[in-house]
Amino acid sequence: MKLFQNFKFSDLFSKKKIDESLLNKFEELLIESDVGTEIASDLKEKFKKEKIGKEIKDEKEIFYFLGEQISKILSPYEKNFNNLYKNTPSIIVVAGVNGVGKTTTIGKLGKLFKDDGKKIVFGAADTFRAAAIEQLELWSKKIGADFVKSDLGTDPASVGYRTAKFAEKEKSDLAFIDTAGRLQNKKNLMEEYKKIFTVLKKINPEYPHETILVLDATTGQNALNQVEEFKKISNLTGLIITKLDTSAKGGILLAISKKYNLPIVAVGMGEKETDLHPFKAEKFTKALLSLN
Ligand X SMILES: Nc1nc2c(ncn2[C@@H]2O[C@H](COP(=O)(O)OP(=O)(O)O)[C@@H](O)[C@H]2O)c(=O)[nH]1
Nearer to Mg ion, 40 or 133 (CB): 133
Task: Count the Cβ atoms, other than its own, within 10 Å of residue 53.
Answer: 9
Q: Which residues, 6+ apart, have CB-to-CB distance to 237 below 8 Å?
A: 209, 210, 211, 212, 263
Shortest Å distance, C-beta 258 to ligand X: 23
209 binds, among Mg ion, ligand X, none (CB under 5 to 8 A by kind): none
Q: Which residues, 6+ apart, have CB-to-CB distance to 283 below 8 Å?
A: none
Interface residue with ligand X among 71, 103, 211, 219 (CB under 6 A) is: 103
Q: Does 243 engage in binding with ligand X (CB under 6 A)? A: yes
**What binding mask, one character per residue, do residues 117-156 give for Mg ion by CB under 5 A, x or -?**
---------------x------------------------
End-to-end CA, the chain: 15
69 binds, among Mg ion, ligand X, none (CB under 5 to 8 A by kind): none
Tell me the C-alpha distance between 76 and 97, whole Å: 26
Shortest Å distance, C-beta 137 to Mg ion: 12
Q: Does 123 engage in binding with ligand X (CB under 6 A)? A: no
| Span 232-271, contacts to Mg ion by CB under 5 A | none
202, HSE (Cβ side, Cα atoms, 13 Å): 11
Query: At residue 215, what are phi and psi to the nearest 5 degrees?
Result: -125, 145
Nearer to Mg ion, 3 or 213 (CB): 213
Residues 99, 158, 199: CA angle, nearest 5 degrees: 100
| CA–CA distances in Å: residue 36 to residues 1, 144, 203, 245, 246 | 17, 41, 41, 21, 20
Tell me the C-alpha distance between 96 and 42, whole Å: 30
- Give residue number: closest CB to ligand X: 268
217 binds, among ligand X, Mg ion, none (CB under 5 to 8 A by kind): none
Q: Are 138 and 106 in contact (CB under 8 A)?
A: no
**What binding mask, one character per residue, do residues 140-179 give for ligand X by CB under 6 A, x or -?**
----------------------------------------
- Give residue number: closest CB to Mg ion: 103
| Span 32-51, contacts to ligand X by CB under 6 A | none
Task: Count the Cβ atoms, other than its own, within 10 Å of residue 74.
Answer: 21
Query: In whole angstroms, what separates CA 250 from the centre of its chain?
Result: 11
Interface residue with Mg ion among 33, 71, 103, 219 (CB under 5 A) is: 103
If you count them, how many residues does the chain have?
A: 292
Q: Are 192 and 157 in contact (CB under 8 A)?
A: yes
Interface residue with ligand X among 93, 269, 281, 287 (CB under 6 A) is: 269
Among the listed ranges 109-117, 140-148, 243-251, 255-263, the one in contact with ligand X (CB under 6 A) is 243-251
Q: Does 18 engage in binding with ligand X (CB under 6 A)? A: no
Q: Which residues, 6+ apart, have CB-to-CB distance to 61 below 8 Å?
A: none
Interface residue with ligand X among 101, 110, 208, 238 (CB under 6 A) is: 101
Q: Does 99 engage in binding with ligand X (CB under 6 A)? A: yes
CA proximity to 80, closest of 274, 254, 276, 278: 278
Q: Does 220 engage in binding with ligand X (CB under 6 A)? A: no
Which residues contact Mg ion by CB under 5 A?
102-103, 132
Residues making contact with ligand X (CB under 6 A): 96, 98-104, 242-243, 245-246, 268-271, 275
